[in-house]
Chain A
């Protein structure tokens, strides 16, 4: 696991280089969550709304909205697709995103309209890590992971 300014950046995930990570699953679905620097920028999350299973979204639209005391923002999807699962745990305990953004706090699972092109606009490996480090510098983020 790569780390920069305290922010964890797993090398094996795909990133939109802004806010989200994407993990292709063996069953052809894609799991989506927010990155460690993004959850840090958000602050302690107090509310999460996630689109219902069956919702179809165009690329760039928000599959979830998150709110902390002073901050709110959306979680965009990087490709068009249908919500096939959402993390119900987050609806009751959105703060979990601050604790385990790459694990238990996944946000949604999508079925891409076009499986072959789902990852076309995402980045991984060294290229992604370099760009994410630049993102962290641009927004002057120092990650602090909550333990509880």
Chain B
């Protein structure tokens, strides 16, 4: 069975959102060790797999398909990734320092960024990827799944 890239990536957004929400609940309960573990899983999934696949495979494919190597959409999404990586490092610091207020502030900002970023990807990028990268759905699925092991 082949998998549509759009479905795989969209499902991964949902999985990652859930991990972030579970991190928030753990912090609210004061379960800092659990929160750190959950956030490490989130960070591994989003930075180590999701963003990497996008930056090295999906964005270049979209740029080739649209015949625009400097496409404003992928430029904006790459910039978003760059900003998010810094925020994730700051969230990790707040968890290590058990700083509830800092964690809540950072999480609020990150959730807004992710909501807007993910919506943009899901409406303006992913729908075109199966045409831009025919037959690559299983490869993408395997890479995403590998980060969950």
Which residues on A are within 8 Å of B, measured CB to CB?
18, 49, 60-62, 65, 67, 70-74, 76, 138-140
Give the shortest distance, in Å, between B124 (CB) and chain A (any CB). 13
- Whether B90 and A70, one on each chain, are in contact in the complex, defined by CB atoms closer than 8 angstroms, is no
Using A70-B116, A73-B113, A138-B75 as known contacts, say yes or no to A49 and B105 having CB atoms under 8 A apart. yes
- Whether A72 and B86, one on each chain, are in contact in the complex, defined by CB atoms closer than 8 angstroms, is no
DSSP class of B's interface residues: helix, strand, loop or mixed? helix
Looking across the interface, which residue of chain B has its beta carbon closest to that of A73? B83
Give the shortest distance, in Å, between A50 (CB) and chain B (any CB). 11
How many inter-chain residue pairs (CB < 8 Å) link A and B? Answer: 42
Chain B contacts for A140, CB-based, 8 A: 72
Chain B contacts for A62, CB-based, 8 A: 86-87, 90
- Whether A139 and B90, one on each chain, are in contact in the complex, defined by CB atoms closer than 8 angstroms, is no
Using A73-B83, A138-B72, A139-B76 as known contacts, say yes or no to A67 and B90 having CB atoms under 8 A apart. no
State the CA gap A71–B116 with chains docked (Å). 7
State the CA gap A140–B90 with chains docked (Å). 29
- Whether B112 and A71, one on each chain, are in contact in the complex, defined by CB atoms closer than 8 angstroms, is yes
State the CA gap A71–B105 with chains docked (Å). 15
Chain B contacts for A74, CB-based, 8 A: 83, 86-87, 109
Chain A contacts for B70, CB-based, 8 A: 138
- Whether A60 and B86, one on each chain, are in contact in the complex, defined by CB atoms closer than 8 angstroms, is yes
Chain A contacts for B79, CB-based, 8 A: 18, 139
- Whether B116 and A65, one on each chain, are in contact in the complex, defined by CB atoms closer than 8 angstroms, is no
- B80-124 contact mask (Cβ, 8 Å, vs A): 1 or 0: 000100110110000000000000011011101100100000000
19 chain-A/chain-B pairs, Cβ below 8 angstroms: A18-B79, A62-B86, A62-B87, A65-B106, A65-B109, A67-B112, A70-B112, A71-B112, A72-B108, A72-B109, A72-B112, A73-B113, A74-B83, A74-B86, A74-B87, A138-B72, A138-B75, A139-B76, A139-B79
State the CA gap A76–B85 with chains docked (Å). 12
Give the shortest distance, in Å, between B86 (CB) and chain A (any CB). 6
- Whether B109 and A139, one on each chain, are in contact in the complex, defined by CB atoms closer than 8 angstroms, is no
Using A73-B83, A76-B86 as known contacts, say yes or no to A67 and B76 having CB atoms under 8 A apart. no
Partner of B105 from A18, A60, A65 at Cβ < 8 Å: A65
Chain A contacts for B83, CB-based, 8 A: 73-74
